[in-house]
């Protein structure tokens, strides 16, 4: 199948197709990526915990965004891995570097999430 750059969908049709593609990607991630499944559990736990902690709306939004950012980084990491594997499965220094960099993105996102939780909980308990 050849991509037709001149006849791309527009307007609401484009938005509908983009949503459909995104949902297909989420379904694939949930089925095939253990890390993404763990992050879905983390998101669910966060959604359940936030109302129980009686945090401010802005603190809750920041924590929720930081949690979603971890998931975003995981999706980018998985996309990098898919492209590298599409190019070739043989071991190559640049392929390994690309995958390591994607993993580093996830690690930084997790550190950000930890710092956000620490800051919010510090203010919650000591302010």
Q: How far apart are CA 124 and CA 118, in angstroms?
A: 10
Q: How far apart are CA 101 and CA 108, in angstroms?
A: 10
Is position 74 annotated as part of the catalytic site? yes
Q: Please give the structure tokens belonging to residue 125.
A: 């308990």
User: Which of the following is catalytic: 33, 39, 74, 90?
Assistant: 74
Q: Tell me if 82 sits within 8 A of 95, measured CB to CB.
A: no
Q: Which of 34, 47, 15 is nearest to 77 (CA)?
A: 34
Active site residues: 74
């Amino acid at each position: 199948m050849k991509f037709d750059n001149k006849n791309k969908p527009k307007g609401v049709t484009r938005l509908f197709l983009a949503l459909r593609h995104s949902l297909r990607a989420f379904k694939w991630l949930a089925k095939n990526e253990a890390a993404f499944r763990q992050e879905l559990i983390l998101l669910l736990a966060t959604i359940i915990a936030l109302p129980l902690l009686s945090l401010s709306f802005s603190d809750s939004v920041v924590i929720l965004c930081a949690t979603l950012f971890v998931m975003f980084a995981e999706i980018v990491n998985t996309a990098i891995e898919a492209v590298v594997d599409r190019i070739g499965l043989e071991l190559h220094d640049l392929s390994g570097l690309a995958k390591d960099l994607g993993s580093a993105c996830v690690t930084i996102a997790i550190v950000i999430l930890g710092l956000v939780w620490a800051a919010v909980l510090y203010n919650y308990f000591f302010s």
